[in-house]
Structure 1
Amino acid sequence: MTTKESLKQKYGKVAVLFGGDSAEREVSLNSGNAVLNALQAVGCDAYKFDPAEQPLAELVTQGFDRAFIVLHGRGGEDGTIQGALTFMNIPYTGSDVLGSALGMDKVRCKQLFQACDLPTADYKVLFSHEDYSDQLPDMLSALGGTVMVKPALEGSSIGMNKVTNLDEFISALALAFQYDHRVLVERFVEGKEFTVSILNDQALPSISMVTPRTFYDYEAKYQADTTQYHCPSGLSESEEERLAKLATRAFSVVGASGWGRVDFMQDAQGQYYLLEVNTVPGMTQKSLVPMAAKQRGLDFQTLCLAVLDTSFVSGV
């Protein structure tokens, strides 16, 4: 039996789910095409499936055996597609319904981190139906004078802004509430940003990101050529181990599994603060998970197969 025949026998017919209709559609298209090309290149019987263009029921009628989820944002990363696939008895990559839903929700993540004594920056949760006009100055002061304003259920830094004064605060909230009725207002941690990728529930080498922009926003992630990535990140062996343990603990606490990414800030005193958990991170050849996997000795095709292997333990 050839390698291609063995892969087709092992995985069956694979639907690579990407695109979708979330605010992160463009990023998902880039990630999905990269994954699809990699799987086809090694001989997997893999096909594009865009839920924005095809009814999910066609996964059954077309005879797909499993799904590789590369849908970023709402509908793909929040437990929705995971629930549908579970109902259709189609195995899928990555976290289950609960882990996906909690990982996507920045507010729930913060609450879980706090409950489990994991380090995370102080924060407030605001709701669109309430009037906070009189409270904003004191809130900004109580959170250190500089905050990040984030929609609770968006990724890729969409709708996020760094705020240093009242006018910026008001504008940032107005934008964030366009994306979600809940907004996270988080004390800004001045320092270095790190990310730790998770594969088969094990931490890969950390990456540090440096950008001349105000923060590591959408443009810094996907458009700018001035963002610097360091992998290895420059941490000592003991610090690398410390960060890896914190990442895997946070990943487990929110119920995530299989593969993903955990993001951190480190302040001037060396304290790490958890930002968020990503259960379907970017998967272009230039994304962070492939970068960390390469440092571990895994090329992109091998990484894609390793992620596909998580579909055997997706609980379906």
Structure 2
Amino acid sequence: MQIAVITGGATPERTVAFAGAAQIVEALRSRGHAVRVVDTVTGLLSPTDEQRLLTPAVGREPPAVAELDDRERAMLSNGLAERKEVTGADVLFLCLHGGRGEGGILQAVLDVIGVPYTGSGALASALAMDKEPSRMGSSVGMTLLRNAEGLDAAVRVARAYDADVMAEQFIAGRELTVGVLGDVPLPVGEIIPKHELFDYECKYTPGMSEEIFPATVDTKLARQLQELALTAHRALKLGGYSRVDFRLSPEGDIFCLEANTLPGMTRTSLLPQAARAAGIEFPELCERICRLAGNSGSGRGG
């Protein structure tokens, strides 16, 4: 297949997207596909650009990307539709996190262009992205409060990333996650972070979290979590693949925290680990995701 990997983006998760794209590109090329890489900010990456930008390094803190915002806006409004590597591709593999790339705007543009793309449609992407602190991922902008004294400061932190701010009750307990591929739930995983929140540092710094696949849970609970993940996936009309995160309280109550329409895609990200636990290695996972792109049976909504 002719595949264009769309990555980068003007969000604090830009380096996360590049890290995933680096490994997606390598995996798909190893399967014999012709792969080009397009940054939503700068356009087509040359081989030199690929070597410079597509690295597994993420860093302990998100980068400042405010200066990239106008450039991405221009690219999405008129640049993508003019690029042959985009319009001529068999499929677009979206490796973007947060902002316009995951929140439905890019998906709406691609619907107009008419090229199949991975993941969920515009409406489903927008619905799933409306979450804490608001329309951001990787726990960027989140603050854990113990009392009301820090509320104003927490709101200021969140508003640095979005005009809307979401506040919700903190739920203590085990952090569990279930990936969905096609319409099939993958094995349950558990995340044990060094911090109380599975924050940016814990997500991307080696040794700051323990990730267990499959999770040590009984068969009944595992099946229940998988059924709930699939229910959330279908209710939001997500397409292709997703990852649904849960908290299991000390009392045994299950809380669905969020659904991720474009979950992390490095080889050690949560969804690829779940796929590996199901016997699906990373190159095959990437290829399966491509084959689900634009598939009417993939459940894409919006």
Q: TM-score range by the shorter chain?
A: 0.7 to 0.9
TM-aligned CA deviation for residue 166 of structure 1 = 2.1
CA distance in 1, matches of 2:98, 2:106: 11
Match of 2:236 among 227, 241, 254: 254
Instruction: Quote the residue 1:31 is aligned against.
Output: 20
Pairing 1:97–2:122 present: yes
Instruction: Quote the residue 2:203 is aligned against.
Output: 221
Match of 2:92 among 67, 81, 84: 67
Structure 1 residues 1-316: aligned runs within 5 Å: 11=1, 13-54=2-43, 55-60=79-84, 63-106=88-131, 150-313=132-295
Q: Is the contact between residue 93 and residue 310 of structure 1 (CA under 8 Å) also seen in structure 2?
A: yes
Gaps of 5+ in 1: 1-10, 107-149
Q: Is the contact between residue 66 and residue 92 of structure 1 (CA under 8 Å) also seen in structure 2?
A: yes
Q: Is the contact between residue 201 and residue 208 of structure 2 (CA under 8 Å) also seen in structure 1?
A: no
TM-aligned CA deviation for residue 312 of structure 1 = 4.0
Report the identity percentage: 35
Compute the TM-score of the two structures, normalised by the length of structure 2: 0.83
Q: Is the contact between residue 181 and residue 241 of structure 2 (CA under 8 Å) also seen in structure 1?
A: yes
**Which 4+ runs in 1 deviate beyond 3 A?**
58-62
Q: Is the contact between residue 36 and residue 85 of structure 2 (CA under 8 Å) also seen in structure 1?
A: no
CA distance in 2, matches of 1:58, 1:161: 41
TM-aligned CA deviation for residue 61 of structure 1 = 6.4
TM-aligned CA deviation for residue 224 of structure 1 = 4.3
Gaps of 5+ in 2: 44-78
CA distance in 2, matches of 1:49, 1:278: 22
CA distance in 1, matches of 2:208, 2:34: 38
Compute the TM-score of the two structures, normalised by the length of structure 1: 0.80
CA distance in 2, matches of 1:58, 1:48: 15
Q: Which amino acid aligns with 1:202?
A: V
Q: Could you say what the CA RMSD is over the residues aligned between the two structures, in angstroms?
A: 1.5
Instruction: Quote the residue 2:75 is aligned against.
Output: none
CA distance in 2, matches of 1:61, 1:303: 23
Larger radius of gyration: 1
Q: Which amino acid aligns with 1:103?
A: A
Q: Which amino acid aligns with 2:135?
A: L
Q: Which amino acid aligns with 1:89?
A: G
